[in-house]
Structure 1
Amino acid sequence: MDTAWQKFKNNIPLRRFVVLLVIIAFLYEMRAMMNTILLTFIFTYVIVHLIHLVQRYLPKMPTGLIVTIAYLIILALLYFVITIYLPMLVGQISKMVKSVMAFYESNESSRLANYVTRYISRGEIVTQAKRIGTFALHTVTSFGTLTIATFMSLILSFFYTIELDKMRDFSSLFIKSGYFKWLFEDIRYFGKKFTNTFGVVLEAQFFIAICNTALTMIGLAFMHMPQIIALGLMVFILSLVPVAGVIISLIPLSIIGYSVGGIRYVIYIFIMIMIIHAIEAYVLNPKFMASKTELPIFYTFLVLLVAEHFWGTWGLIVGVPIFTFLLDVLGIKSAKKSKKKANK
């Protein structure tokens, strides 16, 4: 038994394959907390790289001071969104609801209702109304869950980064442990590889978000929309979600556009967002992702489609990093070699 166990520990490829399966099984069991896990990883990754960037130019600046300033800026942005942007959005929604109610109480609505019921059965209308209500309830519930996950992720990432050196020292104790030293070494091995590949894709998506925001703000400026800076901030945050983020931004932009210029502005915004979405999907996303990950454009598209099918919106964010990570682990394409080649 001891000999078989020793052979297993010495067989590094087999051992790492088993450890990888254990990690996948663990993440599958923790899928209910996947929003919190991924958001914590993203926030921590961004803040840690911010620390390294600042300390490259200001070596004597303490890590705690950098983290504190960064999170104070995040809190200030959240305060700006809650106190300025959300009331503006709520006001636009209330105006839209009032206009819909006014239309419903007018004679035009009864004519439209008679016209619709002439071609569509009442039962079908009720069924579709129930579906819309279920979707709206699910959207509100998901938004509340995501808000809680974001709040918890900010707290966890703050406590991790504020004591970054202590966290590294404490984590290194697992590598020096006795019986399961090999297990923690393999976990660290996979963690480093995934962090490298995720960072490459996150950098690419950051550039895509900048391009989307610039194009959207130019279009909004031509339409003389109010609060362009606030709307640009919203578009930038949503654009960090590949492909889907631009489409999600269509909802609040349409509501505000309707209050400014009526249905005509809603059509303009819809056309503008579809054009920007096409540019992102067919030009920016494949170009940036392919250049940063050195993947062919066909594979980038294929991975995004498959990942979105299995994991939804999160699949669009982590699909390419996971695929690149698997290529690295399987020895098909090393992430380190790609990085060196990119630096050259």
Structure 2
Amino acid sequence: MNNAWERFKANKFLRRMVVLLAIIFILYCLRPMMNMILFTFIFTFLVVKWVRLVQRWLPKVPSWIIVLITYVVLIILVYFAITRYLPVLVNQITKIVNSMIKYYQNNGGTILKYVHHYVSNATIVSQTRHWMGILVKTLTNVGALTITFFMSLILSFFYTIELEQMNRFSRLFLQSKVAWLFQDIHYFGKIFVNTFGVVIEAQFFIALCNTAITTVCLIFMKMPQIFALSIMVFFLSLIPVAGVIISLFPLSMVAFTVGGWRDVIYILIMITCIHMLESYVLNPKFMSSRTELPIFYTFVILVFSEHLFGGWGLIVGVPVFTFFLDVLGVQRNKVQKQPVKENLDKKAD
């Protein structure tokens, strides 16, 4: 028995796979807390990156002072966002919905007759009830999500305010009686931060660029409720590749109510240009070699991750898949730009 245990500990690959499966099982058991876990990780990662960046310019400033100032500013921004900008956002969303309903009631008779011809009343009623149920559930979860958000903010604050002490204390586990276990956890944690964290950070900056460009274009098109549309575009841009395409539908509906088909064509051109910019400029610049996934893989990952993890899956699906590729040692940056037939011929020789 002892020999089998020693052989297990000596087999690094098998041991790490067992540890990884154990971590996945624990996270599965903690899935009701997944919102808090992900929020805490994202906040902590971004604040630590910010602290390291500031310390490059001000190396003598203690990290806890930077963290304290950062969270004070963040709390002030959250306060102003809730008290001033949230009512504006709700008001603009209400105006968008009301204007669209009014427009299609006055001018959409032909469209409604066409839809009614192919869709039965029972189907319309059932779908309406389904979406109303989703709306009620979402509004019910807003309170719980708000509490989770602030709890994650507090947890990330306590972690980052004692960042050096946390690092020193955590290293003690690497010299404990089960050092091999914590060494494997440290190994996976390092890969996780280097993949998941960096991809999330890069996607955040890509979303900011997409939102800025889209907002400028919407201003030139004289679209109404720019603030609400910009917030929507930002959150959809957090979804890799597909987010820009998904934003096409609500933007087109609003554009049609404002300027008809002409504005819809402008929106199509704008989304196409932004998608090309993201694919050929922003992704290579920010993502570097972190993903390098074909678009087909990206969409398949988004479909399955949304089914498994819900809304979070659209954001974290690609980083999680990238993490597993790094664990398995898949060298995506060494893919040769050669035809498959040529590679097969070389292998056959």
TM-score under structure 2 normalisation? Answer: 0.76
Within a 5 Å distance, the mapping from 1:287-302 to structure 2 comes to 288=283, 291-293=288-290, 295-298=292-295, 299-302=297-300
The answer to which of 244-253 and 77-86 deviates more is: 244-253
Q: Is the 8 A contact 1:51 1:67 kept in 2?
A: yes
**CA deviation vs aligned residue, 1:14-61 (integer Å, no higher than 9, x gap):** 110100110111111111111111111111111001111110110011
**Do structure 1's residue 330 and structure 2's residue 328 form an aligned pair?**
yes
Q: CA, structure 1 residues 72+24, in 2 after alignment: closer, same or farther (shift >3 Å)? A: same
Alignment-derived partner of residue 342 in structure 2: none
**Do structure 1's residue 165 and structure 2's residue 159 form an aligned pair?**
no
Deviation at 1:140, TM superposition (A): 1.9
Q: Which runs of 5+ in 1 are unaligned?
A: 339-344
State the identity %: 53
Q: CA, structure 1 residues 189+109, in 2 after alignment: closer, same or farther (shift >3 Å)? A: closer
Within a 5 Å distance, the mapping from 1:1-344 to structure 2 comes to 1-92=1-92, 122-178=121-177, 180-224=178-222, 232=230, 235-236=233-234, 239-243=237-241, 263-264=257-258, 277-279=271-273, 284-285=278-279, 288=283, 291-293=288-290, 295-298=292-295, 299-333=297-331
**CA deviation vs aligned residue, 1:159-185 (integer Å, no higher than 9, x gap):** 11111111112211211211x211111
Q: Is the 8 A contact 2:93 2:228 kept in 1?
A: no
Q: CA, structure 1 residues 169+323, in 2 after alignment: closer, same or farther (shift >3 Å)? A: same
Q: CA, structure 1 residues 135+65, in 2 after alignment: closer, same or farther (shift >3 Å)? A: same
Q: Which amino acid aligns with 1:40?
A: T
Take 2:182 and 2:292, find their aligned partners in 1: how far apart are those partners? Answer: 30
Q: Which amino acid aligns with 2:315?
A: I
Q: Helix, strand or coil for the counterpart of 2:27?
A: helix
The answer to which of 310-319 and 210-219 deviates more is: 310-319
Q: CA, structure 1 residues 199+128, in 2 after alignment: closer, same or farther (shift >3 Å)? A: closer
Q: CA, structure 1 residues 69+233, in 2 after alignment: closer, same or farther (shift >3 Å)? A: farther
**CA deviation vs aligned residue, 1:175-199 (integer Å, no higher than 9, x gap):** 1211x21111100100001100123
Q: Is the 8 A contact 2:240 2:318 kept in 1?
A: no
Take 1:110 and 1:227, find their aligned partners in 2: how far apart are those partners? Answer: 26
Q: Is the 8 A contact 2:242 2:299 kept in 1?
A: no
Deviation at 1:67, TM superposition (A): 1.0
Question: In angstroms, what is the RMSD of aligned CA positions?
Answer: 4.0
Q: Is the 8 A contact 2:305 2:317 kept in 1?
A: yes
Q: Is the 8 A contact 1:51 1:63 kept in 2?
A: yes
**CA deviation vs aligned residue, 1:256-290 (integer Å, no higher than 9, x gap):** x79xxx93169788766665555555651576166
The answer to which of 292-301 and 82-91 deviates more is: 292-301
Take 1:231 and 1:3, find their aligned partners in 2: how far apart are those partners? Answer: 64
Q: Which amino acid aligns with 1:153?
A: S
Q: CA, structure 1 residues 292+76, in 2 after alignment: closer, same or farther (shift >3 Å)? A: farther
Q: Which amino acid aligns with 1:183?
A: L
Q: CA, structure 1 residues 141+241, in 2 after alignment: closer, same or farther (shift >3 Å)? A: farther
Q: Helix, strand or coil for the counterpart of 1:293?
A: coil
Q: Is the 8 A contact 2:248 2:271 kept in 1?
A: no
Q: Is the 8 A contact 1:286 1:301 kept in 2?
A: no
Q: Helix, strand or coil for the counterpart of 1:127?
A: helix
Deviation at 1:251, TM superposition (A): 9.8
